[in-house]
Amino acid sequence: MSVPVNSSHQWVELYADYLYSYALSRVHDVDLARDLVQETFLAALEQPEKFEGRSSERTWLTAILKNKIIDVYRKRSRAKEIMSSLDDLITVETDFFEQGNGHWKAGHKPQLFGMESFDPLSNKEFNGILKKCMLKLPSLWLAVFTMKYLDDEGTDAICAALKISSANFWVIIHRSKVNLRACLQKNWI
């Protein structure tokens, strides 16, 4: 077991901004992101012997933070919220798809986003709208979508972390995409 390379006094200066950005992009709450970064530093200070030297300090601290974020996702996805999400699934199904055949309703068919050419300013604006649309997702959906597409977690890891079935995972991913598409078409196009 190896002691971290840098003094813990340097961690804030070296890693706080990165860890804060990482947390904020996943929990979308300024105060919670700050708290998670502080908890990460405290956890690292309490057990420096867990740093084995097989990665950089930043990677080690990020792994601690990632586990803390997963804990937040778990808390947000309690049974009451899951039931609410399942009710939302039924609503989404009837809002966007025809009964019986599952085809898109005429007013909800996917459209081009108008981002065929690269324009950095448009992409910045698009990313802002995408973030706002993501925040409209139920918290369990947001957690699943974030872990899948921002953190590149595997299906099994996400299901285990959030205590959901594989079938529920895929339904949530599909519904999240449908809702994000609808939100983006409404607010971007």
Domains in the chain (CATH in brackets) are 8-74 (1.10.1740), 79-187 (1.10.10.10)
Task: Please give the average per-residue pLDDT across 20-27, as a whole number.
Answer: 90
Kindly indicate the confidence band of residue 35, based on its pLDDT and cuts at 50, 70 and 90: very high
Provide the β-strand partners of residue 84. none
How open is the CA angle 161-167-72, to the nearest 5 degrees?
25
pLDDT in tens, 67-123: 898 888 888 766 555 555 555 555 555 666 666 666 667 666 666 655 555 565 557
- The pLDDT of residue 109 is 63
For residue 1, pLDDT over 50 is answered with no
> Mean pLDDT score of the chain, rounded to an integer?
79
More confident residue, 12 or 81: 12
Decide if 72 contacts 24 (C-beta within 8 A).
Answer: no
Which residues lie closer than 8 Å to 32 by C-beta, 6 or more apart? Answer: 23, 72
Residue 21 to residue 56: CA distance in whole angstroms: 18
Instruction: Tell me phi and psi for residue 97, to 5 degrees.
Output: -120, 150
* Element of type H or E holding 64: helix 57-76
Specify the higher pLDDT residue, 93 or 151: 151
